[in-house]
Amino acid sequence: MQAALLDPLAPCPRGRWSGHGVQVTRRHGPHRPHPAVATVCTPRFCVHRRGAWLTVEHDLTPGELSDALTLLLTEHLVDTGVLRGQSEFELVFTGVVRSTVDGGLSSWLRFYRNSLAALEHGDAAFAPIHAEAAAQVRGPRLIDLGSCFGFFPLRMAALGHDVLATDLSPSAMGLLDRVSTRLCRPVATLACDATDVVLPDGSADTVTALHLIEHLPTDALHAVLDEALRLARRRVVVAVPFEEQPRDCYGHVQRFDLLRLQRLADELTGRHAGITAHTYAFHGGWLVLDR
């Protein structure tokens, strides 16, 4: 998250959250016309920009707090041109969660429980990706690179795997630490750069990188895959979205298709002896590397 710089559990007034020039408020009652002509209203949000200050009003309920908020914000506020870039997207996302349920940990626990229920019952857009990734994991020990909220590590912990979640953001890993304990899904966490994970070679049976490398410049992308191969005793599982253009609001900077994945596979098998690679399409693209 700018959220890398945010404390997601910081105190805030009931129904209102502020941070880094963004204020998010939960609306009670019906929508009312706004006197400010610069306010943009959608069916679920009202947004006003004044200089460097952005205010967002919404009417979401606790039952609607889940990872589906990503698609809702994209449809209502990104595709309509209201939000600008990844930082604003992440700040508004955090603000919606925190302004909808009172209490820092309580709000995120509601978000996590709703998200995991939808993902594990197949009701979320990302559910087929998590199910496919789970089917590709080999062995009991798993390292997940670029975990963000850590939904996949939490899923695998519930299935009995020994899981280490990693992410560049200490705040994201701190939140996952707190939440995994409350959810009784034990996940170890490590805040680190995925290009340089301070663990010995062969530390896990499987290393996963799910929708991570599309966020990285090309040199870092290759470094992450090399690091994943160093850490994995048996298998590396990589998933990427297929997009016409990388989505700036999600921080995407790389575009993938099957041809590019196959070229990447060829490059990796050429540089790493004893590695085989398989690429395929399923809700995006997959690269599976076996030792």
DSSP string, 4-65: BTS-TT----TTEEEETTEEEEE--SS----S-TT-EE-SSEEEEEETTEEEEEE---GGG-
Give CATH for domain 126-290.
3.40.50.150
Q: What pLDDT score does 2 carry? A: 41
CB 258 within 8 A of CB 286: no
Walk along the chain (291 residues) and give the pLDDT tens digit of each residue.
444 468 899 999 999 999 999 999 999 888 888 776 788 999 999 999 988 899 999 999 999 999 999 999 999 999 999 999 999 999 999 999 999 999 999 999 999 999 999 999 999 999 999 999 999 999 999 999 999 999 999 999 999 999 999 999 999 999 999 999 999 999 999 999 999 999 999 999 999 999 999 999 999 999 999 999 999 999 999 999 999 999 999 999 999 999 999 999 999 999 999 999 999 999 999 999 999
What number of other Cβ atoms are within 10 A of residue 179's Cβ? 21
The domain ranges of the chain are: 16-110, 126-290
Neighbours of 241 (CB within 10 A): 17
**pTM for this structure?**
0.95
